Structure 1
Amino acid sequence: MAFWRDKWKSAGPRVAVVAHDLAMVWVTWLGLHWLRLGVLAHPPRIPLWSTEILLVLVSQALVFWQVGLYRGLWRFASVPDLWNIFKACVLGLFAIVLGLFLYNRLDFVPRTVLVLYPLVLMGLLGAPRLLYRAWKDAQNENLRMNSVRILILGAGHAGEALVRDLRRFGTYQPVGFIDDAIRLRGTKVQGVPVLGRVQDVAEIARETAAKLLVIAMPSVDASALQRVVMACERTGVPFRMVPRLQDVLEGRSLPGELKEVAIEDLLGRKPVLPDWKAIRGWLGARSVLVTGAGGSIGSELCRQCARHGARRITLLEIDELSLMTIEASLRRDFPDVELLPILGDCGDQAVISYALSKAEPEAVFHAAAYKQVPVLEAQLREAVRNNVLASDTVARACCDAGVGTFVLISTDKAVDPANVLGATKRLAEMMCQALAAQHSTRFVTVRFGNVLDSAGSVVPLFREQIRRGGPVTVTDPEVTRFFMTIPEACQLILQASAIGTHEAIYTLDMGEPVPIRLLAEQMIRLAGKQPGRDIAIVYTGLRPGEKLHETLFHADERYRPTFHPKILLAEPREVEAAAVQGAIAELRAASARYDREALAEWLHAAVPEFRPIGQHAATYTGSSTVVAFPARNARKI
C-alpha cells in the first residue's frame, strides 16, 4: 500500500496536469463549435462525446507528449514555457487536421474552428500556469516580509540569475543592486533597482537595512575584487560571493552556492588557464603513478589525472590514513578509474620496484618530499634522505622500468638556494639532469612558489590563529612570497608534462610577489575582524633558512616562452653527471651512518651555490662535531 501511495505522490501532480490540459482541449473544441454553429437559424446538435472528439484528444495528447510539455513545472512557468505551449497547439492542429481528414474528410468541421483553435487553446493552457506561478510568488512574497534582506554587488548576468534563484527560495529578499556602470543607474533588473556605486555600498546598506551582501562578479579580476571586498568590509555587514564558473565546473563549488570570499580569490594575478586539450591528449587512457599521493599536491594531482582521462592511477603513500583518505575520495568521485593503492616509502628500492611492476605506468609524478623550511634546517639527514636519495631511487627505478616520463616537483627555493629545502631540491634537479643524458626516460622538472592552503603552509596557520583570537604571527613586515592555489599548481604540472621536451625545467610566470603582512591583514578582514584592533599582528623575525624575497629565475638559466603564455622553459645549467652521481653515492653512505657533518659537506660540494642566510644560519650537530654555515647577507630583525 505504501508503494502505491509513494507512486501517486510522485506521479499524481503530473497526471493532474495531463488531465487539465486534455480537458482544456475538449472545452476548446466543443466551445468553438458551439460559438460558430450557434449563430445558425437551426443549429445542429453538438454531442459532448464522439469519435471525432476522441481523435482530437488523442492527436493533441501525442503532440503534447512529443513536444515535452510535461517536463516543466507550473511553479516555474515562464516565457519559454508559453512558446512551448504555442508550438504544441499549432502542431496539434496539424495532427488533428490529418487525423480528421483520414477519418471523415473534415466533414462538419467549420474552418473558423480550425483557425481559432491554437490561439484559444494556448490561452486556456497558459493562463492557469501563469496564475499558479503568480499565486506561489505571492505566497513567497509574504514569506519575504520576514526574510533576510540582501544587497547584490553586480547587476550583470550573475546578479540577475541570483535574484531569480533567491526568489525561488522565498527566505531571501533582494532589496537592490550595486553597480559602477553608469548606464544601469536608476534602472531595474528583475524588478530590483540599481541603487548606486560600489564605493557607496556602506551608505546604501545602512539605508536599505541589508543583512547580507552578495558579490555577484564571478569574472572580475583580483585587484577589482580586492576593492569590492574592502568596500564590503567597511559596512560591517556579512558578505558572500557567487563562485566562478571554473570552480563550479571543476567541482570546487556547487551551482547556486554562495561561498565565503577565500584568500585565493584575492591573489594579485589572474589564475593560469591550462590548455586542457593538450593535457587530455597526453594524459588520456594512460597509467600514471603518483608518489606522495596523500599529500596536498599529490592528492589534487590524482584528482586532476582522474578528471582528465587517466586509465589507471597508482597511489604510493607512506602515511596509511592519507592513503585511505585519497583512495576513498577517488573511488567515490571517479568510479570508472582503476586505482592501485600501495602503502610504503618510495625511497625503499623494493617498494618502488614493486609499484612500477604492478602499475606499468607511462608517467610517474614524484610529489613525495619534505618541504617545511624551518624543520629541515634542523633535520639535515631526513631532508637529504627524502628529497635527494628517495628521488634518486625513484628516478633510477623509472629508467630501469622504461617509464616514458618522470616528473620531479620542485620549488622556487631551488633557485639560488638559501636553505636545506632549496639545496636538496636543487640537487634532485641536477640528479634528473644527469640521468636524462644517459636514459631514454623523459625528465621534466616543474618549479612553483608557495601553495595556498597546502599542509603546513601559512594560510591554515593564519586561519587557526585568527580562530583562536590571535595574535597572527608574521616573520617580517617586508617579507614577500609568490603564491598559487593547489589546483593551479597541479594544472601547471600536467601542462608542463604535456610539452614534449626530453629534458626541461619549467616554471610559472607568477606575476608580482604578495607581502605576507598584506596576506595576514586580508585574512583577518575576511574573518569579519579588523587587524590591529580585533586581531593583533606580531612580527617574530625570519626563521632559519628564510629569505625576505624569493626569486623565480636563476641568472645563468636562460628562459624562453612555451606555447602556453604563462609557462616558461629554462635552459638547464651544465652539470657533470659523474660528479653528481658521486656526490649522491657519498650522501647515501653518510645517511646510512647518520653522519650529519659529512652530509653537510657533501651537500655544499654538490650544490656550490647553496648559501645559508639568516641570523640563525643552519647548524648541523653530530655526536661530537658542529658544522656551522656562515650567515651571509644576514638581516638583523
Structure 2
Amino acid sequence: MENKMSKMKFILADIILINLAYILAFYIRFDTMISRQFLAYIPKYLENAIYITLMKVAIFYYFDMYKTMWKYASITELLNIVAAVVLSNTVVISFLFARQENFPRSIYVIATLLDLALIGGLRFSFRTFKIDELFNKFDSVEKKKIMIIGAGDAAALVIREFRNHVQLRSEPVAIIDDNKNKHGKIINGVKVVGGREDILEAAEKYNVDEIVIAIPSASRKDISDIIEICKQTRCKLKILPGYYELIDGKVSIKKIRDVDISDVLGREEIKTDLGQISSYIANKSVMVTGGGGSIGSELCRQIAAYGPKELIIFDIYENSAYDIQNELKRTYSNLNLKVLIGSIRDKDRLEEILKEEKPDVIFHAAAHKHVPLMEDSPKEAIKNNIFGTLNLAQLSDKYGVEKFVMISTDKAVNPTNIMGATKRVCEMIIQSLNANSSTEYVAVRFGNVLGSNGSVIPLFKKQIEEGGPVTVTHEDIIRYFMTIPEAVQLVIQAGAMANGGEIFILDMGEPVKIMDLAKDLIRLSGFEPDVDIPIKVTGLRPGEKLYEELLLDEEGISNTKHDKIFIGKPTFTDYSLLLKSLDNLEALLKDGTQEELINQVKVIVPTYKDNEEVNGKIIRDSEKSACN
C-alpha cells in the first residue's frame, strides 16, 4: 500500500493531522468542545492555521519525511520524526509569539506530543502493523512456504527481508537449528522446530517449497552436510553466502542465491601467502593471454587486487576482452589497464607487444580446450596450443620476461585426445626452454573448473531449465572439480613458488562421478532425477576418457609449503630435440594428412593413446575386479 500512496497523499494526510492535533490539544486543555475558552481560542487558531500548516509541512519535507519508505523504518527514521516535529513546533511558537497570537503554554506541549503520535503513528503503522501485508492476505495467489536453516541473526534478517518483499509471495514457516536451547523459541514470528535431523520431517509437516540456508559463519563442510540432507526433501535449495562472500556484510534478498555444486563439494577456502604473491606482482607489468576467458578473466581480477604497475589483457575475442575491461575499470579505477587484441599464433604481433610493453610476468591462459571440437579440428589445436605457446615462450626469453606461468590441464597426463596431447607438448616446451633461459618457466596443472565456458555444469543447468533430459556420456565417468577463483588463487600462489621448470599440480580433492553430479543438480533444483527430469546416457564422445589423472608415472611428486600445491619433477629438458620434432610437425601442418599429424604428435608424446583403447582397458579391469 505504501508504494501506491503518492507523496501528495502523505502531504494531505499530514495537513489533516497537523490541524487535528491542535484541535485535540484545545479539547484536552479545556475539557470540552463547548466550553467558553475552547470557543474563544478556536477562531484565533483558524486565523493562523494555514501558516502553521505550511511551516510544518515545509519542515517535514526538509527532513525527507515524504521520501522515506516507511515499511523499512528503523530507529533512525523515528529520531528523524522527533527532530522534525520538535523543530516545526518550535518554529510555530516563534511565529505565534512574533504575531502576538499567544495560546496557553500547555497547548504547545500537547500539540507536540499529538504530532508525534499522529504523524509518527501514521508512518510507523506501515512497519508495525504491516498494512501492505494485511491487504496481501486477501490475495488468492498461494505463497511459497520457506524453511530456514540457522536460527541466528542472519535468519532473523532473512525472515524480515521476505516479509518486506511481499511481491516474492514467500512465507517463512519454520526454522531449523542444531542448538537445542533454541528449539521451541520464536524468531520474528517463526518457530525453531528442531535440528538438522528434523529437516525431512519438518519439510513434510509444513509443506515446505523452498529451503534457505542462512548460516554465513558455517564451514563449507557443515554446509555440504546440511545440503546432503536437504537434497532428500525435493525442495528448491537456496543459500545465504558465507561472510567471506558478503563483502559489505549486509544481508538482503539479492544476496540469497541458488545452492550450487561448489556448496555440495564442501571445499574450504584456500589460504594464500599474500606477501609472497605481492612480491612478484605488485609494481610489475603483468600480461595475461586469453584474458577474456573463464580462467584468464579471473586471473585478471585477482592480479588487479595486488597492485600491478600495468595489467595487459591479450585476447583474440574482442567481446570477452571488452567485458573484463569494463568490469576492471569499475572495480579498480586506478588500475593501469591495457587491452590488446591479437592471436598467439601471430608471432609478429606478439613480438610487437613484448618489445613495446616489456612485461615482467606472463600468465598464459590462451588455448583451445574443448575436447570434442578439437578432435574434429586437430590442426587448429596444434597451431594454437603448440605453436602459439612456442611463439610466446620464445619471445619471453628474447625480451627478458622474469616469470612465465602456463595453465595446463589434467588431460595432458596420458592423453587420449588431441587437446590433451597438445597441452602435454606445451608442458614439454616450458620445461625444456627453462633449462636454456633466464626466464622462469612453469606450468600449473589442474582438472575441470566449475562454471567455466563449455563445462558440464552450465550445460546441465540449461537442460534442467528446459525440462530435460540431462545428458551424461557414461554412467561411470569421473572428473576432478575446482571453482574458478580457487584454481586461480592456486595458480598465482604456484607462480610465487616457482624457481623454473616445475609442473605444479593442484590438489583437486576427491574425484566426482558425473552421474552423481547430474543427480545432485537436479535435486538442488527441487526435482527428482528420472521422475521429474530424465537422465540420458549418450555414450563417450571422441577423445573422452572415463577418468583423468593428474600425474605421469615418471614424474613423481613432492610437497610444497602449501598443502594444496605439489610439484612434479621435470621429465623432458632436451630443447633442441623438441624443436626438431616440432619442425616436422609444422611441415605436416602444411602438406600432411590428419592421420600423419596425429602420428607425429604421438611420436612427441609417447603416452598419447586412443581413447577406445584406454577406456576399454578400464572397463575390462573394472569387470574383473567386480567378478573377484
Instruction: Give the TM-score normalised by the residue count of structure 1.
Output: 0.73
Contact 1:418 1:547 in 2 (8 A): no
Q: Indicate the residue corresponding to 2:100 in structure 1.
A: none
- Among 507, 512, 515, the alignment partner of 2:513 is 515
In the alignment, the residues of structure 2 paired with residue 407 and residue 207 of structure 1 have an alpha-carbon distance, to the nearest angstrom, of 55
In the alignment, the residues of structure 1 paired with residue 205 and residue 614 of structure 2 have an alpha-carbon distance, to the nearest angstrom, of 58
Structural RMSD (CA): 5.4
In the alignment, the residues of structure 2 paired with residue 428 and residue 165 of structure 1 have an alpha-carbon distance, to the nearest angstrom, of 52
User: Which segment is superposed worse, 21-30 or 285-294?
Assistant: 21-30
Q: Deviation per CA, 1:212-241, whole angstroms, max 9, x where unpaired?
A: 443334454555545544554544444433
Q: Indicate the residue corresponding to 1:570 in structure 2.
A: 567
Matches within 5 A, 1:481-500: 481-497=479-495, 499=496
Q: Indicate the residue corresponding to 1:176 in structure 2.
A: 173
In the alignment, the residues of structure 2 paired with residue 245 and residue 296 of structure 1 have an alpha-carbon distance, to the nearest angstrom, of 24
Q: Indicate the residue corresponding to 2:125 in structure 1.
A: 131
Secondary structure at the counterpart of residue 267 of structure 2 = coil
Q: Indicate the residue corresponding to 1:262 in structure 2.
A: 260
Which sections of structure 2, spanning at least 5 residues, go unmatched?
32-40, 95-103, 624-628
Contact 1:423 1:607 in 2 (8 A): yes
Letter in 1 for 2:391: T
2:583 pairs with 1:584:
no
Which sections of structure 1, spanning at least 5 residues, go unmatched?
1-8, 36-44, 101-109, 619-629
Contact 2:159 2:172 in 1 (8 A): no
Q: Indicate the residue corresponding to 1:157 in structure 2.
A: 153
Deviation at 1:152, TM superposition (A): 2.2
Q: 1:113 to 1:469 in 2, by over 3 A?
A: closer
Deviation at 1:407, TM superposition (A): 1.8
Q: 1:13 to 1:304 in 2, by over 3 A?
A: farther
Q: Indicate the residue corresponding to 2:472 in structure 1.
A: 473
Q: Indicate the residue corresponding to 1:317 in structure 2.
A: 315
Letter in 1 for 2:452: S
Contact 1:556 1:573 in 2 (8 A): no
Secondary structure at the counterpart of residue 367 of structure 2 = coil
Contact 1:279 1:494 in 2 (8 A): yes
Q: 1:256 to 1:455 in 2, by over 3 A?
A: closer
Contact 2:218 2:242 in 1 (8 A): no
Equivalent pairs, count? 598
In the alignment, the residues of structure 2 paired with residue 268 and residue 442 of structure 1 have an alpha-carbon distance, to the nearest angstrom, of 35
Q: Indicate the residue corresponding to 1:625 in structure 2.
A: none
Secondary structure at the counterpart of residue 194 of structure 1 = strand
Letter in 1 for 2:164: R
Q: Indicate the residue corresponding to 2:558 in structure 1.
A: 558
Q: 1:631 to 1:284 in 2, by over 3 A?
A: same
Q: Indicate the residue corresponding to 1:142 in structure 2.
A: 137
Secondary structure at the counterpart of residue 137 of structure 2 = helix
- Among 43, 63, 71, the alignment partner of 1:75 is 71
Q: Indicate the residue corresponding to 2:343 in structure 1.
A: 345
In the alignment, the residues of structure 2 paired with residue 502 and residue 24 of structure 1 have an alpha-carbon distance, to the nearest angstrom, of 82
Letter in 2 for 1:526: L
Q: Indicate the residue corresponding to 1:334 in structure 2.
A: 329
Secondary structure at the counterpart of residue 258 of structure 2 = coil
Q: Indicate the residue corresponding to 1:192 in structure 2.
A: 190
Q: 1:283 to 1:142 in 2, by over 3 A?
A: farther
User: Which segment is superposed worse, 200-209 or 424-433?
Assistant: 200-209
Secondary structure at the counterpart of residue 316 of structure 1 = strand
Secondary structure at the counterpart of residue 147 of structure 2 = strand
Instruction: Give the TM-score normalised by the residue count of structure 2.
Output: 0.73
Q: Deviation per CA, 1:13-51, whole angstroms, max 9, x where unpaired?
A: 99899999999999999999999xxxxxxxxx9x989xx
In the alignment, the residues of structure 1 paired with residue 359 and residue 419 of structure 2 have an alpha-carbon distance, to the nearest angstrom, of 28
Secondary structure at the counterpart of residue 410 of structure 1 = strand
Contact 1:543 1:616 in 2 (8 A): no
Letter in 1 for 2:184: G
Q: Deviation per CA, 1:93-125, whole angstroms, max 9, x where unpaired?
A: 9x99xxx9xxxxxxxxx9999999999997777
Letter in 1 for 2:263: D
- Among 287, 292, 295, the alignment partner of 2:293 is 295
Q: Deviation per CA, 1:274-298, whole angstroms, max 9, x where unpaired?
A: 5667656754565433222343322
Letter in 2 for 1:588: D
Deviation at 1:617, TM superposition (A): 6.0
In the alignment, the residues of structure 2 paired with residue 363 and residue 535 of structure 1 have an alpha-carbon distance, to the nearest angstrom, of 48
Deviation at 1:148, TM superposition (A): 1.3
Q: Indicate the residue corresponding to 1:4 in structure 2.
A: none
Q: 1:72 to 1:311 in 2, by over 3 A?
A: farther
Q: 1:295 to 1:177 in 2, by over 3 A?
A: same
Q: Deviation per CA, 1:319-378, whole angstroms, max 9, x where unpaired?
A: xxx422431453266254565444432022112112334544333221112333455567
